Copies of this chain bind each other. A is one copy, B any other.
Amino acid sequence: MTLDDRIRAEIEARIRSGEWRPGHRIPFEHELVAHYGCARATVNKALTALAAAGLIERRRKAGSFVAQPHVRSAVLAIPDIGQMITARGDPYRYEVLTRRIRKARRITPEELLLRDEGALLAMTGVHIAADTPFAFESRVISLTAVPAARDADFGEGAPGSWLLEHVPWTDARHRISAVGAVPTVADALAIAAGLPCLQLERWTWRQGAAVTFVRQIFPADRYDLIGEFTSAGRP
């Protein structure tokens, strides 16, 4: 463990244990320098990391203070479905149900965020794990942003995996909700209509340009999302 790590850990422990309550002023940098017998840059690195983690707030001339508890935030890893199933040890395949190219509609709310005048590739399909439908997927890809998708052969992989390889770096927005399975989806998933499902929607951009919108629907009993680690403070 490096020295700056040790300094950060010791201060963090005092905060998390409650010994230093929110609002408490932690020692000045020069005091910590004296205490640890190190350079100020080292202390500064530790405190900067704590501030970035939201555990402390720093104010010039005043000092550094234990931050107030913030909104709880969870980091949710949302993996590639194929990878997830494969990692679980089940055979995986993706089955295309529909595929067509059309203009953007202005009606559906999801496509409003893909504010794109050009053509879209619209697909639906099913992720299948060990011959059991695992998730229904409905996807729209902007052919303006990803012209190569028009003639791409996604093979037995999902278009999402293909996209991840060809358009690797993205920013995105997720929405998670519960829905009842509409008949089309229920059919594809081989469940009864109306059964509760977890719905994951994702809008993806690349450098500000809309790339794709996907809606994945999981039967309630086959998937849930685990949010690892929360600590009081900022994301």
Report the nearest B residue to A15, measured CB to CB. Answer: B169
A74 with B72, Cβ < 8 A, contacts A178-B178, A232-B170 known: no
Binds B, one of A94-102, A120-128, A134-142, A218-226: A218-226
Binds B, one of A57-65, A108-116, A189-197: A189-197
Most chain B CB within 10 A, of A18, A170, A196, A224, is at A196
Q: Are A75 and B78 in contact (CB under 8 A)?
A: no
Q: Are A69 and B164 in contact (CB under 8 A)?
A: yes
Report the nearest B residue to A165, measured CB to CB. Answer: B69
A132 within 8 A of B: no
- This chain: how many copies in the complex? 2
Question: A147 CB to closest chain B CB, in angstroms?
Answer: 14
Q: Are B168 and A220 in contact (CB under 8 A)?
A: no
Q: Are B79 and A226 in contact (CB under 8 A)?
A: no
Give the interface size bracket for A toward B: 35 or more
A152 within 8 A of B: no
Q: Are B174 and A226 in contact (CB under 8 A)?
A: yes
Q: Are A71 and B75 in contact (CB under 8 A)?
A: no
Q: Are B229 and A173 in contact (CB under 8 A)?
A: yes
Which residues of chain B come closer than 8 Å to A194, judged between CB atoms?
Answer: 194
Which residues of chain B come closer than 8 Å to A79, judged between CB atoms?
Answer: 71-72
Q: Are A230 and B169 in contact (CB under 8 A)?
A: no
Q: Mark A39-82, 1 if CB is under 8 A from B, else 0.
A: 00100000000000000000000000000010111111111100
Question: A224 CB to closest chain B CB, in angstroms?
Answer: 4
7 residue pairs of the A-B complex, CB under 8 angstroms, read: A72-B80, A73-B77, A74-B78, A75-B235, A170-B232, A171-B230, A229-B235
Other A-B pairs, 8, CB within 8 Å; known A76-B176, A178-B199, A180-B220: A72-B79, A73-B75, A76-B174, A76-B227, A77-B235, A175-B225, A176-B226, A180-B196
